[in-house]
Structure 1
Amino acid sequence: MMARPPPDPQYILRGVGAAVNTLYFSCNRPDPPLLFSGSTKGAVHIWNLNTRRPEKVLEGHGGSSVIWVNTLSRETVLSQGRDMRVCLWPLSEGRGGEVCDSLYTGSVGFCQCSLLSRGPSSSLLAYASEQMEEVKVMELPSNVPVCSLKPDKKLGMVMCLKIWQPDAGEGPLLVAGYEDGSVLLWDVTQGRPLSSLSAHPEPVMCLDFDPGRQRGVSGSAENTIRSWALDGQQNLQQQESVELLNPGISQLQVRGDGKILAAAGWDHRIRVFGWKRLKPLAVLKCHTDMMLSVTFSDHADPTKRLMAAGSKDQRISIWSIYNQN
């Protein structure tokens, strides 16, 4: 039997007018499902996925590249720019408009923030600080500092990070990738590293972590995606890896159901893998330049889950792939 050909995108969103650095879905809401995109020209587009048009364009980073977008309790948009600020926008009638608050990070790098919701009125924001090897964690919306995480060894700049709350009930954990190729696991409550792993020979460009499987994945400028896991003693252990035909990964994301992994490649392609064993499932081609971002929707109905991918070619592709009950 011949393998089924890769699917085409459901549709393409155009009109950003710049490379698309970052994407974030917000679908489980009474309003229309939304997709947020951040561009290299400093704009955040809020896309209505029913009309497939932007409802609002937020510009508060002085033209500096937006590298991360998220929402806080569905009432506030967060955007991180290369102007060294995280801006907060009210997501109300008219979908926001003016910055209501901002946080100075001091970071000149490309490390994206990570957000952990702790309930309707409290979240933790992890971000790279002006000391480039340091990660700071702050409680929102109170802006109270929680901790500072700085390695004892010289690992270089922090490149990517992810914060999450373990099911066991202990304090939050955070994993960070560094310029020397290391991945470190941090105990946020105690502010100390628990374990480390030499994951890549080059800087760790991107990572994601699946708390359900206690397993993470990372990519770099090389042509290898590597997975790793936590054992019972909170030690990072190398697991499967997969070699790609072409080098360079901009972003990795594990879908919320823990079944598939998507990779945004420098070779203009989106690769999809089975998350359990990193089995290649599809190579998706529709863009004409480097892929910069990929994300999955948070839709409660598994048959309506979407994947979005953003490229340097200024377009956003929307896909429906491997959706099952």
Structure 2
Amino acid sequence: MSRAPPDPLFILRGSGSAVNSLSFCCGGDGPPFLYSGSGKGAIHLWNLTTRRAERVLESHAGSSVIWLQSFKDSRSRLISQGRDMRLCVWDLSEDRSAVTDSLLTASVGFCQCSLLETRPGAALLAHPTEHMEEVRVVEMRSWTPVCTLKPDLKLGMLMCMKMWQADSGPVLCAGYEDGSLVLWDVSHRRPYSCLKAHPEPVMCLDVDVCKQKGISGSSEKILQSWTLDKQQNLQMHDSVQMTNPGVSQLCIRADGKILATAGWDNNIRVFGWKKLKPLAVLQHHTDMVNSVAFSDHQDPPQRLLAAGSKDQRISVWSIYSES
């Protein structure tokens, strides 16, 4: 018999509104942290040792925080994206809570940004723009535009994206309203390939760069995986049908072993990444799950999975932690 799904390791309460975004910050000195962004513009800095919010940053003029990312090269830097159409860069060093820089994206959509740290102190950022189908890539330090990517075909609104470093340079995969995925060559500002992966808008995607394989979800019941060949052509690979429709976000763990999804049915689902085998349904939340995130596999000692929900709670789980 298969083991029953575990209970959460602990619950973080007190966000004050729906939890829309999560980011772990576990490297370097100091205790591991989890950052969360709320529907009312609050960013909570949760100390995972004490399981309490050490600080709350009031941000984005009270608008929803839809994306957060801590920088790998510095625990004291954080970037946030809000529904006020702004990006904010935060200095959290020595108990500071200061916005040191910001960028007006003018985007009214829900597409989350994507950060690519190219080397220590340098990063590229892909963000949506006022043109609903467009991605702009900028150099973080100066906000200098690198390129603007816009499909020739009418694919509808930009819904989600992920940028990573390939041998040939930065690559970005974007999901669109008509269910298409486009793989972009950032350096040459052109598409490598396009794939109609879903009949509905692509709500979320993630990519396993080592395996050259990715996965996407939509408002339907199907999760669709796809591969990249040596010519950077997107190809359908495998799919799995879920019990209920709708995925807000999905995340592949850094070791490439498991995948977690944030469900509109209030559940977190865990799959084996190799064959998309369903492994567990984690039930705790009483409203839709908006965000899932895995901790870095090195610290804390057990690998953690966090989920943020519209019910204003964050559940933290320890699952399949064996290496």
Same fold per superposition (TM over 0.5): yes
> What is the CA–CA distance in structure 2 between the aligned matches of 1:299 and 1:234, rounded to whole Å?
28
Could you tell me which residue of structure 1 aligns to residue 270 of structure 2?
272
Aligned length: 321
Could you tell me which residue of structure 2 aligns to residue 123 of structure 1?
123
Could you tell me which residue of structure 1 aligns to residue 101 of structure 2?
101
> What is the CA–CA distance in structure 2 between the aligned matches of 1:110 and 1:301, rounded to whole Å?
31
Could you tell me which residue of structure 1 aligns to residue 89 of structure 2?
88
> 1:60–1:99: 8 Å Cα contact kept in structure 2?
no
> 1:28–1:299: 8 Å Cα contact kept in structure 2?
no
Q: Percent identity?
A: 64
Could you tell me which residue of structure 2 aligns to residue 39 of structure 1?
38
* TM-aligned CA deviation for residue 98 of structure 1: 2.5
Aligned: 1:236 with 2:246: no
* TM-aligned CA deviation for residue 142 of structure 1: 2.0
Please, which runs of 5 or more residues in structure 1 have no aligned partner?
none
What is the letter of the counterpart of residue 10 of structure 1?
L
Q: 279, 290, 296: which is aligned to 2:288? A: 290
Could you tell me which residue of structure 2 aligns to residue 219 of structure 1?
217
Could you tell me which residue of structure 1 aligns to residue 114 of structure 2?
114
Query: Could you tell which deviates more after superposition, 134-143 or 250-259?
Result: 134-143
What is the letter of the counterpart of residue 5 of structure 2?
P
What is the letter of the counterpart of residue 81 of structure 2?
Q
Q: 178, 181, 185: which is aligned to 2:179? A: 181
Aligned: 1:50 with 2:49: yes
Q: 226, 237, 252: which is aligned to 2:250? A: 252
* TM-aligned CA deviation for residue 298 of structure 1: 1.0
* TM-aligned CA deviation for residue 141 of structure 1: 1.5
What is the letter of the counterpart of residue 126 of structure 2?
A
Instruction: Deviation per CA, 1:170-219: give whole Å up to 9, x if none.
Output: 11100000000000000000010000100111110000011010001000
Instruction: Deviation per CA, 1:151-185: give whole Å up to 9, x if none.
Output: 0011111000000002xx21110000000000000
> 2:33–2:46: 8 Å Cα contact kept in structure 1?
yes
> What is the CA–CA distance in structure 2 between the aligned matches of 1:71 and 1:242, rounded to whole Å?
31
> What is the CA–CA distance in structure 2 between the aligned matches of 1:171 and 1:100, rounded to whole Å?
29
Q: 295, 298, 309: which is aligned to 1:300? A: 298
> 2:20–2:308: 8 Å Cα contact kept in structure 1?
yes
Q: CA RMSD in A?
A: 1.0
> 2:255–2:297: 8 Å Cα contact kept in structure 1?
no
Could you tell me which residue of structure 2 aligns to residue 152 of structure 1?
152
* TM-aligned CA deviation for residue 144 of structure 1: 1.2
Aligned: 1:6 with 2:8: no
Instruction: Deviation per CA, 1:208-263: give whole Å up to 9, x if none.
Output: 01101000100000011000010121100001101111100000000000000000
* TM-aligned CA deviation for residue 299 of structure 1: 3.8
Using the size of structure 1 for normalisation, the TM-score is 0.97
> Any idea what SS the aligned residue of 1:93 has?
helix
Could you tell me which residue of structure 2 aligns to residue 134 of structure 1?
134
> What is the CA–CA distance in structure 2 between the aligned matches of 1:104 and 1:302, rounded to whole Å?
35
Could you tell me which residue of structure 2 aligns to residue 64 of structure 1?
63
* TM-aligned CA deviation for residue 303 of structure 1: 4.7
> Any idea what SS the aligned residue of 1:165 has?
strand
Could you tell me which residue of structure 2 aligns to residue 18 of structure 1?
17
> What is the CA–CA distance in structure 1 between the aligned matches of 2:137 and 2:295, rounded to whole Å?
26
> What is the CA–CA distance in structure 1 between the aligned matches of 2:224 and 2:168, rounded to whole Å?
27
Could you tell me which residue of structure 1 aligns to residue 188 of structure 2?
190
